[in-house]
Amino acid sequence: MENNFKLFSVGPVEMNDEIREIGGERIPYFRTDEFSSLMLENEKLIKKLMNTSDKSKAAFLTASGTGAMEAAIMNMFNQQDKLLVVVGGSFGERFKQICEIYNINHDVIQLNQGEQLTKDRLYEYSNKGYTGMLINAHETSTGVYYDLQMVGEFCSKENMFFIVDSISSFLADPYYMDEWKIDLTIISSQKALALPPGISAIVMNERTVEKIYSNEVKCLYFNLKDYIENGKRGQTPFTPAVGILIQLNYRLKYVDEIGLDNIIEKTKVLAEDFRSKIAKFPFTIPSERLSNAVTPLKPKNGLSAYYIYTYLKENYNIYLCPSGGSLKDSLVRVGHIGELNTSDNDVLIDALSDMERKGII
């Protein structure tokens, strides 16, 4: 495959030189004290960067983010539960699918494309006996960033467990797990962590760990109790993606050193730079509440979004994120996570200017 591409995708994303160098190194044996201490440090740093108590636990799964979404739900909930699922696009839909597969009672708050979840809408579901809430922090398929603090207050009033897939938002937007009353957070390596795909993490507060221990799960590989038990000594039940966990350690230490706020601010500046530069082109940004991670673009002139994605890929080696399903022709997304800076934005803007000159957009 050609290697001189530029990624504005939302995972995998551009990785920096140090991370790529580590990726080229030999893989050590992992049932060692040295690897255990690296893993314990990974856990400590992830919890710190999520703003959760050190008493919370992290499980590291060798799986993409969807594996962690499935593991979280099947370990926490059973047929006695009744969940509320926010579906604003294909990632919310994924939570719904998991509930269907495991026969877990659930109701859906269905949102239109680009629509945010308002307090009025949410509070229609008060006092109905829900035991848990499933939401994506950022519905990556449409570029809507939900008000997690508002949802957390609702869950706390309703005594519901609050489960957040923060996969495309972690390190791109602020995230206060404890303050926002989030019980379980899911993240994955290939988004703003800017690592190769292959590792996901589930972070659970104390009451969630208790709930998981009291629930029986029929699964060998994704039994979170085993991950929590092994995690106490910095290990995983099975062979993990050792190389990515070493890269993760490097990355987390880097973020901690630079400062979480600075990392988020850099993404915000990059997103705002792009949004100001794209304003003169024939697109709208159809999202009521944007994450720093992504800008969704809808062509104004009826041109196919998928065609624009293909044209940029074929002619400039630039990869945006195309949409699937019903949004294929109406929405293309530009990512601001990974090793990108404002001059990369200029490369994309120059390509769009060139397309404009040629009469393509």
Ligand X SMILES: *Cc1c(COP(=O)(O)O)cnc(C)c1O
| Residue numbers at the binding site for ligand X (CB under 6 A) | 11, 64-66, 91, 136, 140, 165, 167-168, 188, 191
CB 158 within 8 A of CB 164: no
Tell me how far, at minimum, the Cβ of 165 lies from ligand X, in Å: 5
Residues 6+ apart with CB under 8 A from 184: 72, 76, 161, 162, 163, 164, 202, 203, 204, 205, 208
Tell me how far, at minimum, the Cβ of 137 lies from ligand X, in Å: 7
Tell me how far, at minimum, the Cβ of 257 lies from ligand X, in Å: 26
Of residues 193 and 308, the one with the C-beta less far from ligand X: 193
Cis peptide before 12 (omega within 30 of 0): yes
What b/e string do you get for 313-342 counting C-beta neighbours within 10 Å, with b at 16 or more? eeebebbbbbbeeebebbbbbbbbbbebee
Tokens linked to 29 = 């044996």
CB 96 within 8 A of CB 85: yes
Tell me how far, at minimum, the Cβ of 273 lies from ligand X, in Å: 22
User: What is residue 7's three-state secondary structure?
Assistant: strand
> Whose CB is nearest to ligand X?
65
Q: Is 357 a known ligand-binding residue? A: no
Q: Is 359 left (phi over 0), alpha (psi -120 to 50) or beta?
A: left
Of residues 113 and 168, the one with the C-beta less far from ligand X: 168
Of residues 9 and 235, the one with the C-beta less far from ligand X: 9
Looking at residue 118, the DSSP 8-state letter turns out to be P
Of residues 188 and 235, the one with the C-beta less far from ligand X: 188
Tell me how far, at minimum, the Cβ of 188 lies from ligand X, in Å: 5
Of residues 132 and 335, the one with the C-beta less far from ligand X: 335
Tokens linked to 87 = 């579906």
CA 39 → CA 31, 60, 201, 341, distances in Å? Answer: 11, 9, 12, 30
Place of tokens 């893993």: 39
Tell me how far, at minimum, the Cβ of 100 lies from ligand X, in Å: 17
Of residues 38 and 167, the one with the C-beta less far from ligand X: 167
Binding residue positions:
333
Binding residue positions for substrate:
333
